[in-house]
Amino acid sequence: MKKLLSILMVLFTALNVTAKCDFSKIKLQRWNQGIYYKWYLSGWERDTCKGFMFTVYDFQKKKTDTVVDTRGILEVGFNAPGKYKLIVKLWDKCNKCDTVLYDYVDIIAWKPTAGLKWIKKTCDSSWFELNTFNIKDTCWDYYFWIYNGPELEKLSDKDFLGMSDYQLYNYYSFSDDDIKLFKNERLIKYKFPKKGKYLIVGYYYNKCLGQDTMFFNRQIIDCNTTSVNVYNKPEPKLIGVYDMMGRPVYNIRENEILIYVYDDGSKIKKQVIK
């Protein structure tokens, strides 16, 4: 299955230069995919004189946490919506000079605004609509995918309705012929072409922040029956990341198994491998 993947890169340069310390070569690069952010500090390496430290300020909790980098590379997963500030302090104790770099992160609060509405029109046609955050905001893109194919038809109705959204969306490998794509449309009026099982995915993407989310709807279409079976639930939200000892993790560390906890009670073990 094809997925949209975005990488946002921002370049920051320290501008203050003193007679003893030249900070002009320092660069702070940023990438992100959704709520997972990565920074790379270059042009300033730790030695017996020089050093640097990363901290993150949470505007909601009014709290600053020190986060650990790996040779100038920092990875952080922000588990709650809100505004955050990355602070990088750099110093040269031998020449008695220092400077500070800042970067700001906004994590979108999807609830309660985001959502997928479904309106049944006939036994084989429906309207699907994604709620809007701000109709004048050009950062937003909206997409719909409708999936129907042999892999869905092999499932019993019970399995189709009982599997989680992530099992359906990530496990099955749909061909391009099984996918109907609607670009930059918040409202689609869709007539199902044939009897069968359909997975409808509504997708929000904020191209300015590189963040996205999805909502799902399932339809079993059979106009020979008196009803249409529908299953519709929002995507589970990540509420916490913990290590194997149950301790909260604020920055993602490579080659470590972490436990991702979602608001529907599900837990997934993941390992970041570099």
Higher pLDDT, 270 or 62: 62
Rg (CA), the chain: 23
Q: How confident is the model at residue 6 (pLDDT cuts 50, 70, 90)?
A: very low
Q: What CA–CA distance (Å, rounded) separates 261 from 243?
A: 11
Q: Which residue has the tokens 């092999």?
A: 154
Task: Find all residues with CB under 8 Å of 198, minimum gap 6, and list them.
Answer: 146, 147, 148, 152, 192, 218, 219, 220, 221
Q: What CA–CA distance (Å, rounded) separates 264 from 274?
A: 30
% the chain with pLDDT above 70: 80
CATH 2.60.120.260 fits 10-108, yes or no: no
The answer on pLDDT for 24 being more than 80 is yes
CATH of domain 116-234: 2.60.40
CATH 2.60.40.10 residue spans of the chain? 10-108
Q: How confident is the model at residue 16 (pLDDT cuts 50, 70, 90)?
A: very low
Going by DSSP bridges, is the β-strand pair 125-130/116-122 parallel, antiparallel, or unpaired?
antiparallel
Whole-number pLDDT of residue 145? 94
Whole-number pLDDT of residue 271? 56
The answer on pLDDT for 184 being more than 80 is yes
Pick the range with the lowest mean pLDDT from 166-180, 183-197, 231-245.
Answer: 231-245
Mean pLDDT estimate for the chain: 83
Whole-number pLDDT of residue 15? 44
Q: How confident is the model at residue 165 (pLDDT cuts 50, 70, 90)?
A: confident
Enter the tokens of residue 182: 């609607």
Going by DSSP bridges, is the β-strand pair 125-130/82-92 parallel, antiparallel, or unpaired?
unpaired
Going by DSSP bridges, is the β-strand pair 27-33/63-67 parallel, antiparallel, or unpaired?
unpaired
Contact 86, 102 (CB under 8 A): yes
Pick the range with the lowest mean pLDDT from 156-165, 168-177, 216-225.
Answer: 168-177
Helix (H, G, I), strand (E, B) or coil at 47: coil
The answer on pLDDT for 20 being more than 70 is yes
Contact 72, 28 (CB under 8 A): no
Return the number of other C-beta atoms located less than 10 Å from residue 115's C-beta.
15
| Mean pLDDT of the 87-116 span | 92
